[in-house]
Amino acid sequence: MARITAGVGCSHVPAIGVAMDTGNTNDVYWKPVFNGFEKSREWMKKQNPDVIFLVYNDHCTAFDASCIPTFSLGCAAEFKPADEGWGPRPVPVVKNHQKMASHIAQSLILDEFDITIMNDMEVDHGLTVPLSVMYGDVKPEEEWPALVIPLCVNVVQYPPPTGNRCYNLGKAVRRAIESYEEDLNVVIFGTGGMSHQLQYKRAGLINSKWDKNFLDLMTRDPLAASKISHLEYLRETGSEGIEMVMWHVMRGALNDEVTEVHRHYHVPASNTAVGHIILENNT
């Protein structure tokens, strides 16, 4: 059977992708950001997942105001990196495990999570930057080392789903994955965050104390973390901090008790607090 062996929480700051794509990762500004991912890249090599179930958000790339699904699952054979204004990032096309994605769609919907099925979708920095930071440079003509099943969550247009809904979806994702018959090592990513606000009077807001407590809760008390309200995210972490609801899908898919094997927190990268955690399922 397929097994979820670990979860990864990770910010998706687009400028991190640009720093990699333009060879600037050793700059004084960027070096401390990337140093914190060295251990993660070694861990990824050892962990060597067959499939990454990647929970992320789209930023008006695949969707615009004309259609806003709360949860959508990538069921296409592949997903091209989108052009976000400077041309598509020079990274490989993302390949799906299509049979497993179909199984997950069926399992989630029959488990009463009404998922939108995406048979054609481009992916933006929300998905490609976490892959880049975890794998390092992968040339566009190469392949990502794992297949990727994307689950896209609306955090752009209010109301996004609650942390509780995301946490429970994570549990349903686990049931879906662990009822798939192929022997596969699956790692689940929850992406976005941490504190940041890109607009208006509070633009530039970062709340390290709150973020670090959130990382603690991810390891020790995921249920308490899942109860954090939208208003608290907005007040404490800025308007874009709401991206963190996606981490609860990842955390809900893991055991209650996990082992934290790595953590990295750095301020700032672009306008954002970078947060990262690796949690292994205790067996």
Interface segment toward ligand DHB; rule CB under 6 A; list 79-87, 96-104, 145-153, 268-276? 268-276
| DSSP letter for each residue of 4-49 | EEEEEEE---HHHHHHHHTT-TTSTTTHHHHHTTHHHHHHHHHH--
CB of 32 to ligand DHB, least distance (A): 16
Cα-flanking dihedrals φ and ψ of residue 72, to 5°? -135, 145
The footprint of ligand DHB on residues 111-140 (CB under 6 A) is: none
Among positions 44, 52, 59, 152, the unique one binding ligand DHB when judged by CB under 6 A: 59
Q: How far apart are CA 42 and CA 44, in angstroms?
A: 5
> Given 12, 59, 103, 196, which residue is catalytic?
196
Our CB check for ligand DHB shows the closer of 13 and 127 to be 13
The residue (of 180 and 247) whose beta carbon lies closer to ligand DHB is: 247
Closest residue by Cα to residue 4 from 255, 269, 277, 278: 255
Q: Which residues pair with 186 in a beta bridge?
A: 4, 51
CB contact set of 269 (below 8 Å; sequence gap of 6+): 11, 13, 15, 16, 30, 33
Instruction: Answer yes or no whether residue 14 interacts with ligand DHB by CB under 6 A.
Output: yes
Q: Which stretch binds ligand DHB (CB under 6 A): 11-19, 82-90, 221-229, 255-263?
A: 11-19
* 125 flagged as catalytic: yes
Please report whether residue 196 would count as binding ligand DHB according to CB under 6 A.
Answer: yes
Nearer to ligand DHB (CB atom), residue 51 or residue 121: 121
Is residue 161 a contact point for ligand DHB (CB under 6 A)?
no
Contact predicate 93/59, CB 8 Å: no
Shortest spacing between CB 199 and ligand DHB, in angstroms: 11
Contacts of residue 122, Cβ cutoff 8 Å, sequence gap at least 6: 61, 62, 79, 80, 81, 82
* Rounded Cα–Cα distance for residues 129 and 11 (Å): 8
Q: Could you confirm whether 230 is annotated as catalytic? A: no
Nearest-approach distance from CB 84 to ligand DHB, in angstroms: 9
Using alpha carbons, select from 240, 140, 130, 142 the residue that is nearest to residue 189: 130
CB of 180 vs ligand DHB, minimal distance in Å: 31
The binding site for ligand DHB (CB under 6 A) comprises: 12-15, 59, 196, 198, 240, 270-272
Q: Which residues are catalytic?
A: 125, 196
